[in-house]
């Protein structure tokens, strides 16, 4: 019985890791898109983007 529980835990852990890594990747892409959009809006408004935002794009 204990072996069955441990065997079932591995796929669950793997699925959780896949979900989290996919979620983190998606969040990273969204943050980069947001930084790019903010820099574009600042440029359109005639403002200079901070070095942190412009360097990361």
Alpha-carbon gap, residue 46 to 41, rounded angstroms: 9
**8-56 per-position pLDDT tens digit:** 668 888 989 989 999 999 999 999 999 999 999 999 999 875 655 555 5
| Count of alpha carbons within 13 angstroms of residue 11, beta-carbon side | 4
- Listed in order, strand segments (DSSP E) in the chain are none
Alpha-carbon gap, residue 34 to 18, rounded angstroms: 24
Structure tokens at 19: 């979900």
Domain ranges within the chain, ordered by starting residue: 19-44+52-56
Q: What is the pLDDT of residue 50?
A: 62
Structural contact between residues 53 and 43, judged by C-beta atoms closer than 8 angstroms: no
**12-24 per-position pLDDT tens digit:** 889 899 899 999 9
**Cα 6 from chain centre:** 30
């Amino acid at each position: 019985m204990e072996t069955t529980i441990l065997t079932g835990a591995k796929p669950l852990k793997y699925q959780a890791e896949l979900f989290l890594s996919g979620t983190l990747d998606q969040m990273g892409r969204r943050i980069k898109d947001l930084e790019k959009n903010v820099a574009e809006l600042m440029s359109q408004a005639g403002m200079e983007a901070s070095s942190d935002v412009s360097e990361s794009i």
